[in-house]
Amino acid sequence: TLGSFSNGDPIMTELLRNSLDDRIAEPTPALGTLERGEPIQVFAAPPGTPAKPRIARAEGIYMWDTDGRRYVDAGSGPVACNIGYGNRRVLAALQTQAAAAAFANPASFESAANRLFAERLAVAAGPGYERVFVVSGGSEANEAAIKLARQMAVARGEAARWKVVSRQPSYHGGTLGALSVTGDPTAHELFGPLMKPMPKVPAPVTYRIPPGFDQESWAEHCAEVLERTILDEGPETVLAFIQEPVGGLATGALVPHAAYMRRVREICTRHGVMLIHDEVMSGGGRTGAFLSHEHWPDCRPDLVVLAKGAGAGYFPLGVVLAPRDRVAEVASGGGFMHGHTAFGNPLACAVGLAVLDETLDNGLVGNAAEQGGRLRARLDDLMARSPIVGDVRGKGLLLAVELVADKATKTPFPPSAVAGATLARVAMEQGLILYQRRTNAGRDGDWVMVAPPLIATAGEIDMIADGIASAVAETARRLG
């Protein structure tokens, strides 16, 4: 809150001078008792983790700490800040909506922000996704999608369907429902007793393909396992299959083979299983298409989930996109039984609309494709030269660099080497921010995400590529 920023931080005080009452803008001796770097969050980092710099401000793809150091954000935060920082249109929309009505209970009022956002998003998403349900984030949106799928099944008279099949590894969120479909054995070991176990199938990985398969036959095999799993579970009990069309952190931007995506759609249709695309990280233009299934026209999902890039870091926002007719079935049965205090929030919708307008008006989807191609070429070149870059994958500006101890055998570094974390730390020391997972690094391989904001120019992409090359070289030296 504004008051807590007044604890003697000169840059923040200067930045907020106009917003702060002079009296509280003066440093207050009673405040500021925490030492810099001292953990203040419940999920404090393990002992020995270096102190983080303190953020002062951010603009475009750049961030500055309170010591005046500049960082280039090549991860868009956690692959969320798609249109960069300090965007004037979004800030103005937020301010205007906040002044008009920061909150209006959707049970009592319709909001113009909600209606406009939904209408424009439905047009951008294309036919088949006319209904837009707005929540506060990715985990929540995935859970809403699952609940909507369940109500759709019940409305069709298929109340026996409840199982949601997903891939291993995958990430669909940290809340218990979203975690139950997340393919993460460590999380399941810890939180399993609190969750309903859901069937898992292998992710159609493209780098370490098991012996005896090539890219296509492995893709076909993974799809066959999905079908066998549905048959074994009893198709009449299977509600949905949820997948990240282009993977996020759990797989390091996995791009499945076209044969896999085609077969997945056929299998889901054959068994009446709803296909949910978790586009929390990949949606909204990041992969060079507004929705990433556009890369696989024969794999259109029934429900699409968006989050990170939809609010682009300016406001918590998650979205479920659904077909008009299927939602009508649910509506005629009494309506979607779901809601949170913040669903359809006017501030979230105003931000979502402004982010969408910025994305479309400035051709950022095309820019993601173009600059993604440029960055990919540079990273491929780095892979050819570096002894520790084993794979580069992804689409558009959703890319990952996988580090290996031995390129010939694709042997990962041991988890104890924390190779990806080392690269991210070295990059940060050099003023470049990459996105890297905090847990499970090294279990299925070790990578960093390279996902700059979609506003990045060719010059900025070159600067990022140079920065990664330098950080990789230093990382190779440190890992010995």
Residues that bind ligand PLP (CB under 6 A): 78, 137-139, 142, 171-173, 244, 248, 278, 280-281, 307
CB 145 within 8 A of CB 303: yes
Q: CB-based burial of residue 117 (10 Å sphere; 0-12 exposed, 13-18 middle, 19+ buried)?
A: buried
Nearer to ligand PLP (CB atom), residue 306 or residue 350: 306
CB 453 within 8 A of CB 75: no
Q: Compute the least distance from the CB of residue 304 to ligand PLP, in Å.
A: 12
**CA–CA separation, 186 and 192 (whole Å):** 9
**CA–CA separation, 371 and 462 (whole Å):** 9
Q: What's the chain's Rg over C-alpha atoms?
A: 23
Q: Compute the least distance from the CB of residue 458 to ligand PLP, in Å.
A: 27
Q: Compute the least distance from the CB of residue 400 to ligand PLP, in Å.
A: 12
Q: Compute the least distance from the CB of residue 79 to ligand PLP, in Å.
A: 7
**CA–CA separation, 27 and 13 (whole Å):** 9
Task: Give me the residues paired with residue 164 across strands.
Answer: 240
Cα→Cα distances 330→152, 435, 455, Å? 6, 39, 39
All residues at 6 or more sequence positions from 157 whose CB lies less than 8 Å from its CB, including other chains: none
Nearer to ligand PLP (CB atom), residue 7 or residue 175: 175
**CA–CA separation, 251 and 170 (whole Å):** 7
Nearer to ligand PLP (CB atom), residue 114 or residue 142: 142
What are the tokens at 320?
């479920």
Nearer to ligand PLP (CB atom), residue 241 or residue 413: 241
Nearer to ligand PLP (CB atom), residue 9 or residue 244: 244
Q: Compute the least distance from the CB of residue 160 to ligand PLP, in Å.
A: 27
- The helix (run of H) or strand (run of E) holding residue 57 is strand 55-59
- The helix (run of H) or strand (run of E) holding residue 47 is none
**CA–CA separation, 159 and 153 (whole Å):** 6
Nearer to ligand PLP (CB atom), residue 172 or residue 378: 172
**CA–CA separation, 363 and 345 (whole Å):** 27
- The helix (run of H) or strand (run of E) holding residue 446 is strand 446-450
Nearer to ligand PLP (CB atom), residue 6 or residue 182: 182
Nearer to ligand PLP (CB atom), residue 172 or residue 425: 172
